[in-house]
Amino acid sequence: MSGRIPGRAYAKAVFETARQMNVLDAVYRDFQQLLKLLEESKELSAFMRISSRDQARAEILEKIFAESVHPLTLKFLKFLVYKNRLEILPPVIQEFIDLSHEIKGIAAMDVTSYGPLEEAALKEIEQKWNRRLNKSVELNFKTDPSILGGIVFKIKDQVYDYSIKMQLERLRERLIK
């Protein structure tokens, strides 16, 4: 079974619960931090993929996160342990974030550049995309030296690639034809 399908159901359930409890923003922040931790920590990511309903796993999660996440977030993590579904946490989090963005009118955008961008450039990018999309844009910045220069914007499945790498590939294709 795909992790995305149960991930959607679990995300909707925790989203609605957080909304009813009026703690949506707190759980949203927790999930963003968890997603970042899972990307940065191979150990935590491996721990989440272990298939087990072990009480000890729930206790470990409690020790790690009890002081740093909202009680609903912790309760949800422990619920996933008891259901032996902790490995689907990343798609659950992504679906939760998508639901939050949808209700708040936010468009998440990945911005990839060759190197770090100055604060003024970041503000200008955000303002232009806010106007263009008529939504508030949440920018996620990454650097990737393989693009050789320029910038790449990604919103959901749409990619606006203004990188030197892409320009060189297009030029190559035209020269071949």
- Phi/psi at 111 (nearest 5 deg)? -120, 120
Residue segments in the chain with a per-residue pLDDT below the cut of 50: 1-4
DSSP string, 39-93: HH-HHHHHHHH-----HHHHHHHHHHHTTTS-HHHHHHHHHHHHTT-GGGHHHHH
Residue 162, token pair as written in the block: 């203004």
**Domain 106-176, CATH 2.60.40 — does that match?**
no
How far apart, in whole angstroms, are the C-alpha atoms of residue 172 and residue 26?
49
- Written as one letter, the residue type at 138 is E
Would you state the pLDDT for residue 5? 63
Question: Tens digit of pLDDT for each residue in 100-120?
Answer: 999 999 999 999 999 999 999
**Where does the chain hold its CATH 1.10.520.20 domain(s)?**
4-102
Between the CA of residue 156 and those of 43, 52, 101, 141, 160, what are the distances in Å? 28, 33, 12, 15, 11
Would you state the pLDDT for residue 1? 43
Residue where the block lists tokens 């422990």? 78
pTM for the full predicted model? 0.75
Signed CA dihedral, 121, 126, 128, 129: sign only? positive
Residue 32, token pair as written in the block: 């963003």
Would you state the pLDDT for residue 136? 93
CATH classification for the domain delimited by 4-102, as one of 3.40.1190.20, 1.10.1760.20, 1.10.520.20, 1.10.10.60: 1.10.520.20
**Where does the chain hold its CATH 3.40.30 domain(s)?**
106-176
